[in-house]
Amino acid sequence: MSLVIAALAAFVYAGPLLVLREVAVSGVPASLGAQVRAAAAAPMNEPLAQLNTAAIAARVRALPFVEGVSVHRQWPSTLGVQVRARTPAALVPDPPSGYAIVDSSAIAYGTSARPLRGVPIITVDLTPASRPSLLAALTVLAALPPGIRSTVRSVAARSPNDVRLRVGKTTVVWGGPDRSARKAKIYAELRRTRASVYDLSSPDTPVLR
């Protein structure tokens, strides 16, 4: 019996039939699949059992648009690469390319020559010194209910404690990201009253102008 098990193990590990013939990518559009396969650099026609899936995952994870990845063998001859792609949370002006696309963690992972529908624009410098301001603006956006967040045209973040939203023709002075959940509830009520400026920087004493 032990000889049979050993022979079977040897066949799985180095058998000529169980070699890599296909890399199946999921989780991203087909247009990005080629980039994932190229980054994976999985050696075709090598025994599937001998592939270093951890190293392959690390190479794919280095792609800017990849937030997470899982690599697994699909016997007899396929390597599955399941990608969790970053999703756009905002655009940041980045001349001359147009806009940098950032996710909710303030990681810039792509560019767009023009605004994207439904993605707000945050006016802030793409520098390490301005990262706290960008994170503050993203925190504010995340706190908004979807129905309100979809109406935000742009966000100005002069500092982490001076975040301002442009909603239609009105300005919402948010202040810092602290107590954002409460500010969002107050704003949902106050926006029923017409005003040019909604100042929520002190949510206990909001001001309309």
Topology classification of domain 90-208: Rossmann fold (3.40.50)
* Interaxial angle between packed helices 53-61 and 30-40, expressed in degrees from 0 to 180 and rounded to the nearest 10: 130
DSSP designation for 126: -
- For the chain, which residues make up each domain, given as ranges? 2-85, 90-208
The Cα 131–Cα 143 span in angstroms is: 18
pTM of the model: 0.82
Q: Do domains 2-85 and 90-208 have the same CATH topology?
A: no
In contact, 57 and 69? CB cutoff 8 Å: yes
The Cα 64–Cα 47 span in angstroms is: 29
What does the pLDDT profile of the chain (209 residues) look like in tens digits?
A: 553 343 334 444 455 669 999 999 999 999 999 999 999 999 999 999 999 999 999 999 999 999 999 999 999 999 999 999 999 999 999 998 899 999 999 999 999 999 999 999 999 998 999 999 999 999 999 999 999 999 999 999 999 999 999 999 999 999 999 999 999 999 999 999 999 999 999 999 999 99
Task: Evaluate whether the domain defined by 2-85 bears CATH number 3.10.20.310.
Answer: yes
DSSP designation for 14: H
**pLDDT tens-digit series, residues 104-152:** 999 999 999 999 999 999 999 989 999 999 999 999 999 999 999 999 9
Query: What does residue 175 show for φ and ψ, rounded to 5 degrees?
Result: 80, -140
